[in-house]
């Protein structure tokens, strides 16, 4: 089984910074630390309301990732503004996500089935510019097929519902949601899509997700930034990395 990459999402370093309107903590410094601690890439979501990551953060993160030769995964809504920003920076990857201003976080995946005609031309333009395009979708076979049909090269499967069910002690629901993630990953792989996963992952939920053999990358943020308060960002990332590696080693054994 191939090594699973870890993308560290540093959005919530900016959330803490913005809570006081100060210049610290700096998401770019967090990105540097994350890369030094073993992250394979950096993920940042420029929300339309700029509630955490700012345009200036994206400018700086693009420079840092380029200088370090590591991928920047730019998460964004499917809007003309975000498309223009992606095309201006040419990050390694763009992950297309749904966005509603009133939501606390990205609740549910992008509806690629319904949004096909809006999403497809955006994907074409981003891919033509050399950006690797991913659609953040629920673990649903129709969404997987739609992501393939709009021309995305990658799907990122939304693990939020699974992680919430685990944390809520809803075992049967969690098992069913994990089965959906496995089926969607297998189908996406069969269709030639690269498969990623993310949202809500912590130390408990990472191993069952990481054991899904088709997965190539996990994107993890909120839990790691929270854990960094207690043990530091580097150790939190190293522990997550170790759990991912254990899950893969157990599966291969
Ligand atoms: N992947 C995507 C597409 C996301 O939108 C997010 C949250 O911004 C993440 C991964 C990371 O989720 P979390 O912060 O819950 O680990």
Query: What CATH number has the domain bearing residue 179?
Result: 3.20.20.70
Going by alpha carbons, the residue nearest to atom 3 of ligand 1 is: 136
Instruction: Give the chain's mean pLDDT.
Output: 95
- Dist. CA 197–CA 220, nearest whole Å: 9
Q: What is the pLDDT of residues 187-206, one digit of tens each?
A: 999 999 999 999 999 999 99
- Mean pLDDT, residues 104-115: 86
Q: How confident is the model at residue 2 (pLDDT cuts 50, 70, 90)?
A: confident
- Is the model's pLDDT at 103 over the cut of 80? no
Name the residue among 74, 156, 90, 155 with its Cα closest to residue 126.
Answer: 90
199 has catalytic annotation = yes
In this predicted structure, what is the pLDDT of residue 115?
96
In this predicted structure, what is the pLDDT of residue 132?
98
- Index of the ligand 1 atom closest to the CA of residue 134: 3
Residue with tokens 């944390």: 167
- Mean pLDDT, residues 26-47: 98
Who lines ligand 1 at CB under 6 A? 9, 11, 45, 75, 95, 97, 105-106, 136, 156, 198-201, 219-223
The residues near 82 (Cβ < 8 Å, ≥ 6 apart) are: 46, 48, 76
The answer to whether 252 touches 4, Cβ cutoff 8 Å, is no
Residue with tokens 């394979």: 40
Q: How confident is the model at residue 105 (pLDDT cuts 50, 70, 90)?
A: low
In this predicted structure, what is the pLDDT of residue 107?
76
Q: How far is the CA of 198 from the centre of ligand 1 (A)?
A: 6
Catalytic residue among 75, 156, 214, 217: 75
Q: What is the pLDDT of residues 142-192, one digit of tens each?
A: 999 999 999 999 999 999 999 999 999 999 999 999 999 999 999 999 999
222 has catalytic annotation = no
32 has catalytic annotation = no
- Mean pLDDT, residues 68-86: 97
Catalytic residue among 12, 89, 189, 199: 199
In the chain, the number of structural domains is 1
Could you tell which of 222, 223, 227, 237 is best to mutate to test the pocket of ligand 1, judged by most ligand atoms within 8 Å of the CB? 222
Write out the two tokens for 228: 């960094």
What residues make up the domain containing 137? 5-252
Q: What is the pTM of this model?
A: 0.96
The answer to whether 147 touches 122, Cβ cutoff 8 Å, is no
């Amino acid at each position: 089984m191939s090594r699973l990459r870890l993308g560290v999402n540093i959005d919530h370093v900016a959330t803490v910074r913005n809570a006081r309107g100060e210049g610290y903590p700096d998401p770019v410094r967090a990105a540097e630390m994350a890369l030094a601690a073993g992250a394979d890439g950096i993920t940042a979501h420029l929300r339309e309301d700029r509630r955490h990551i700012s345009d200036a953060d994206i400018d700086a993160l693009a420079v840092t990732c380029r200088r370090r030769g590591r991928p920047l995964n730019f998460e964004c809504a499917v809007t003309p503004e975000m498309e223009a920003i992606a095309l201006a920076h040419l990050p390694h990857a763009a992950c297309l996500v749904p966005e509603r201003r009133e939501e606390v976080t990205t609740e549910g995946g992008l509806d690629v089935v319904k949004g096909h005609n809006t999403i497809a031309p955006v994907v074409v333009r981003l891919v033509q510019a050399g950006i690797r395009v991913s659609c953040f979708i629920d673990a649903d076979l129709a969404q997987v097929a739609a992501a393939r049909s709009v021309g995305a090269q990658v799907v990122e499967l939304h693990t939020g519902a699974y992680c919430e069910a685990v944390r809520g002690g809803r075992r049967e629901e969690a098992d069913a949601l994990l089965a959906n993630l496995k089926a969607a990953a297998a189908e996406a792989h069969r269709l030639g899509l690269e498969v990623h996963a993310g949202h809500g992952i912590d130390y408990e939920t990472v191993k069952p997700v990481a054991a899904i053999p088709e997965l190539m990358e996990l994107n993890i943020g909120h839990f790691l930034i929270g854990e960094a308060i207690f043990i530091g960002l580097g150790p939190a990332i190293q522990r997550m990395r170790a759990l991912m590696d254990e899950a893969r080693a157990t599966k291969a054994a």
